[in-house]
């Protein structure tokens, strides 16, 4: 069982995150001004599996204090969290681009969120981060769940924003809520095909709606 001080700290952190996201969502002018703010500089690191992970790191890591790990959603990157980057101070923040997103590499494809979670753990190990509070949005909740399940000593708390089912994405697109048999079946879905088409044609206007 966690000490009471740790529980209070986790609760306060979650409250702060919720308040900041609510503030940004409720203020259209603030959302529009995000584009006018220079994004933070990304760093890159080569992971043991041969992938290059791009990430944003802000603040200074404190001994015996958990860092804040931010995991973005689909059609996005670490820069989704610019509102938090601008408002959170005195907190050590790590926000990676998941494999195949943002500026991270996509040398090998993957079949599970567990593989994305492993990428994140590789990054944390390389940065000597041993404890994190995790905030994850949408698709990012998949790797977040996997991190918490596989590395309970690493994840101090989870804060999920519009997260998915623990079963993953297939339930979103299947009317009968049954998972797809394989990636090929999922790729045949019209919603997926539309997103792939807009990725291949680099249709920026399509992805601005996200």
Quote the pLDDT of residue 8: 45
Residues 161 and 197 in one domain: no
Residues 190 and 118 in one domain: no
Quote the pLDDT of residue 22: 54
Residues 158 and 92 in one domain: yes
Per-residue model confidence as pLDDT tens digits over 131-146: 999 999 999 999 999 9
Residues 110 and 183 in one domain: no
For 24, the 3-state DSSP assignment is helix
The secondary structure of residue 110, as a DSSP letter, is -
Residues 99 and 180 in one domain: no
Kindly report the CATH number assigned to the domain that includes residue 30.
3.40.50.1820
- For the cut 80, the answer to whether the pLDDT of residue 125 exceeds it is yes
Residues 174 and 164 in one domain: no
Residues 122 and 185 in one domain: no
Residues 98 and 63 in one domain: yes
Enclosing domain of residue 47:
4-168
Categorize the per-residue pLDDT at 1 as very low, low, confident or very high, splitting at 50, 70 and 90: very low
Residues 147 and 192 in one domain: no
- The total domain count for the chain is 2
Quote the pLDDT of residue 181: 72
H-type helices in the chain, by residue range? 4-26, 28-33, 82-87, 113-126, 141-150, 170-173, 183-187, 190-200, 204-208
Per-residue model confidence as pLDDT tens digits over 50-109: 999 999 999 998 888 999 999 999 889 999 998 888 888 889 999 999 999 999 999 998
pTM > 0.95 = no
Residues 203 and 160 in one domain: no
**Taking all residues of the chain, what is their mean pLDDT, rounded to a whole number?**
82
Cβ atoms 145, 80 nearer than 8 A: no
Residues 120 and 194 in one domain: no
Return all residues near 193 (Cβ < 8 A) that are at least 6 apart. 187
Average pLDDT of the residues in 38-48 = 93
Residues 74 and 176 in one domain: no
Cβ atoms 62, 92 nearer than 8 A: yes
């Amino acid at each position: 069982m966690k000490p009471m001080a740790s529980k209070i700290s986790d609760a306060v952190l979650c409250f702060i995150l919720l308040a900041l996201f609510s503030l940004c969502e409720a203020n259209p002018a603030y959302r529009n001004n995000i584009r006018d703010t220079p994004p933070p500089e990304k760093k890159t690191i080569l992971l043991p599996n041969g992938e290059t992970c791009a990430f944003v790191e802000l603040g200074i890591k404190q001994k015996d204090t958990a860092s804040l790990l931010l995991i973005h959603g689909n059609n996005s990157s670490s820069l989704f969290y610019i509102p938090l980057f601008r408002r959170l101070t005195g907190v050590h923040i790590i926000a990676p681009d998941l494999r195949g997103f943002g500026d991270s590499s996509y040398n090998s494809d993957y079949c599970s969120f567990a593989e994305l979670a492993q990428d994140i753990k590789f990054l944390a190990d390389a940065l000597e981060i041993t404890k994190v509070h995790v905030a994850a949005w949408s698709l990012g909740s998949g790797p977040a769940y996997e991190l918490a399940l596989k590395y309970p000593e690493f994840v101090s708390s989870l804060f999920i924003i519009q997260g998915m089912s623990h079963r993953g994405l297939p339930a979103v697109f299947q009317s009968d809520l049954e998972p797809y048999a394989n990636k090929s079946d999922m790729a045949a879905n019209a919603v997926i095909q539309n997103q792939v088409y807009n990725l291949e044609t680099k249709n920026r206007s399509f992805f601005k709606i996200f």
